[in-house]
Amino acid sequence: MTVPFTPGLHEIAADTYAYLQPDGSWGFSNAGLVVADGEGLLVDTLFTVPQTRAMLDTMTRTLPRLAIRTLVNSHSDGDHWWGNQLLPDATILASEAAAAHMRGDRLHELFACPGAVPLPRVAEEMRRTFDFTGITPTPPTRTFGGELDVAVGGRTVRLIEVGPAHTVGDVLVHVPDVAVLFAGDILFIGGHPVVHSGPIAGWIAACDLILGLDVETIVPGHGPVVGKPEVRAFREYLERVRDHAVRAHRAGTPVLQAAREMDLDGFAHWDDPERLLLNIGAVYRELNGDGTPDEIELMDRLDQYAAPHPADTAPLAVDVAPRIVPRPASEIAALAGRLEGPAAQILAGGAGPLAGRPVLNVLATIGNHPDLLIALAPLLTQLAQGLLPPRERELAILRTAHRTGAAYEWHHHTRLGAAAGLTGSEIARVLDGPDDPGWHEADRALLRAVDELCDDHVLSPATRRELAVHHSTPRLLELLALVGAYALIAGILNTCEVPLDDWLTPSTQAGTTG
């Protein structure tokens, strides 16, 4: 049967219901209800007390004589059990693995804290969306392993443990007499899933188990009610993630780059695409066998993955008409008379690796304010010929270009970085930042400094101490000025949509990725 993906309670088979929460994204999970002889078995509560209370009120209005005597938590994610306290008289069932995780869960306390809390952005968005106050964790009162049959009046509900997969203790809830399955988060529809524990092979095996069951109607943990064709498509997604991640890991590709390079044909329309980074990372973690990359660390990097990076935005830098038209090269060259030495050369026809090139579009754009260009040119010249070694200078500029989304800056400095001694693989790793294991400590400190300056405009004490091992005080000051200057230029480039210079196209760049 076709079940509309609309909020509330839907009868999906005789005395069998799904409670749906569009759009199925972070925190908007589904639940289920099986009824017989006035008794009810509830599959999952919801993320918060108010959400769960609203669901139970809806069920009471629809079925006023209902007594929910059994609650099954499909797994240990908070959006499937943090409302348990509203059913104090029910027997609460879960797998032993899930229950062990639930008994140690304190995440709701962080979510409910007033004021700022150091959480990833997606968690902060959930704090703004949901009311996490008043949660009293109520873990299962009965656990099992493997399979368990549960009586609901005269009906039998079959519980099947399939974790570890999405989490360590996932459970399917099968209602054989009406061919219905409540899949919990073993199935996401219309959005990318999250591999918390893995192994991903266990999740694929769980899909195979579903496909072998005598079921027609399947309620996912998130998304609309479906049938087996959607399970097959979901299984294909998991296989593609696994195969791509294994190849990328074998090639030494950083996890962020691997996620960006995955072929999403057929899945590009799915919501929450940032979760792909978590899923690639989960496969890497399984292959590494040492707990890396950590899931919380990856959560902190979801914004970085979701934001366009310079290699992605390069065509825009070439094709989009500039908002401020660069001045003719002859007019910029005429300003060189107001400067001396190398600063004059960059306006008259380039200097160093750019000698003989036409006036750069960035300079010609800033040249619409001649006095500003005359003031900036000596600073840029000083930074280009300063105390920082060329390789380290270009490494810092590339990371600044990436963090600020400055495609123009990125394309120019991949060329200059290669000339300064950065390898193609190093330039590719710039996108992955200081946590990539391939960096030496000096490079890691420098990249971390760029990130801290872009994020907080101040270096942490630990980063200052690490930089002091490798750089003198004048070089440290120059690094601070370098990042600030190129962030300033990035703002001009991005806002004015400065076109990439005709002689420099993305296809000519050494080391670009994407």
Tens digit of each residue's pLDDT (9 = 90 or more) over 37-55: 999 999 999 999 999 999 9
Q: Which residues have CB under 8 Å from 345's CB, separation 6+?
A: 336, 351, 355
Q: Which residues face 161 on adjacent strands?
A: 171
Q: What is the dihedral of CA 62, 65, 67, 71, to 10 degrees?
A: -20
Identify residue 319 by its one-letter amino acid code.
Answer: D
Q: Rounded mean pLDDT of 288-292?
A: 92
Identify the three-state secondary structure at position 271: strand
Helix residue ranges, H only, 251-309: 255-261, 275-288, 295-300, 302-306
Tens digit of each residue's pLDDT (9 = 90 or more) over 436-458: 888 999 999 999 999 999 988 99
Cβ atoms of residues 322 and 365 within 8 Å: yes
pLDDT, residue 316, reads 32
Q: Where residue 513 falls among pLDDT bands split at 50, 70, 90?
A: very low
Token duo for residue 239 = 């296989």
Q: Which residue has the tokens 């229950």?
A: 99
Q: Which is it for the CA torsion 119, 121, 122, 127, positive or negative? A: positive
How would you classify residue 3: left for phi > 0, otherwise alpha for psi between -120 and 50, otherwise beta? beta
Q: Which is it for the CA torsion 459, 464, 468, 469, positive or negative? A: negative
Q: Rounded mean pLDDT of 288-301?
A: 89
Q: What angle is formed at CA 20 by the lines to CA 17 and CA 24, rounded to 5 degrees?
A: 150
What CA–CA distance (Å, rounded) separates 320 from 100?
55
Q: Where residue 152 falls among pLDDT bands split at 50, 70, 90?
A: very high
What CA–CA distance (Å, rounded) separates 260 from 227?
30
Whether residue 180 has pLDDT greater than 90: yes
Which helix (H) or strand (E) is 16 found in, with range? strand 16-20
Q: What percent of the chain has pLDDT over 70?
A: 92
- Which of 55-69, 218-232, 267-281, 373-387 is predicted least confidently? 373-387
Identify the three-state secondary structure at position 326: coil
What CA–CA distance (Å, rounded) separates 489 from 328?
20
Whether residue 78 has pLDDT greater than 70: yes
What CA–CA distance (Å, rounded) separates 464 from 459?
6
Residue spans of beta strands (DSSP E) within 121-254: 142-144, 147-152, 155-161, 171-175, 180-188, 217-222
Tens digit of each residue's pLDDT (9 = 90 or more) over 115-146: 777 778 888 889 889 999 999 999 999 999 99
The burial of 180, by beta-carbon neighbours within 10 Å (0-12 exposed, 13-18 middle, 19 or more buried), is given as: buried
Cβ atoms of residues 295 and 278 within 8 Å: yes
Q: Where residue 320 falls among pLDDT bands split at 50, 70, 90?
A: very low
Tens digit of each residue's pLDDT (9 = 90 or more) over 50-76: 999 999 999 999 999 999 999 999 999
Cβ atoms of residues 159 and 72 within 8 Å: yes
Q: Rounded mean pLDDT of 276-290?
A: 95
Whether residue 30 has pLDDT greater than 50: yes
DSSP 8-state symbol, 338 = G
Cβ atoms of residues 314 and 410 within 8 Å: yes
Token duo for residue 240 = 């593609």
Q: Where residue 306 falls among pLDDT bands split at 50, 70, 90?
A: low
pLDDT, residue 355, reads 57
Range with top average pLDDT, 175-184, 317-326, 327-336, 351-360: 175-184
Q: At what angle do helices 441-456 and 390-404 cross, to 10 degrees?
A: 40
Whether residue 149 has pLDDT greater than 90: yes
What CA–CA distance (Å, rounded) separates 407 from 309?
8
pLDDT, residue 514, reads 27
Whether residue 277 has pLDDT greater than 60: yes
**Quick check: bond before 293 cis, omega within 30?**
yes
pLDDT, residue 311, reads 45
Q: Rounded mean pLDDT of 212-218?
A: 98
Token duo for residue 281 = 């990372």
pLDDT, residue 507, reads 34
Give CA 130 to chain center in angstroms: 20
What CA–CA distance (Å, rounded) separates 50 from 303?
29
Q: At what angle do helices 407-419 and 310-319 cross, to 10 degrees?
A: 110
**Quick check: bond before 435 cis, omega within 30?**
no
End-to-end CA distance of the chain: 43
In this structure, the number of other CB atoms found within 10 A of the CB of residue 505 comes to: 14
Nearest to 107 by CA among 85, 79, 129, 86: 79
What CA–CA distance (Å, rounded) separates 284 from 257?
13
- Phi, psi of 225, rounded to the nearest 5 degrees: -70, 135
Token duo for residue 103 = 């008994």
The burial of 356, by beta-carbon neighbours within 10 Å (0-12 exposed, 13-18 middle, 19 or more buried), is given as: exposed
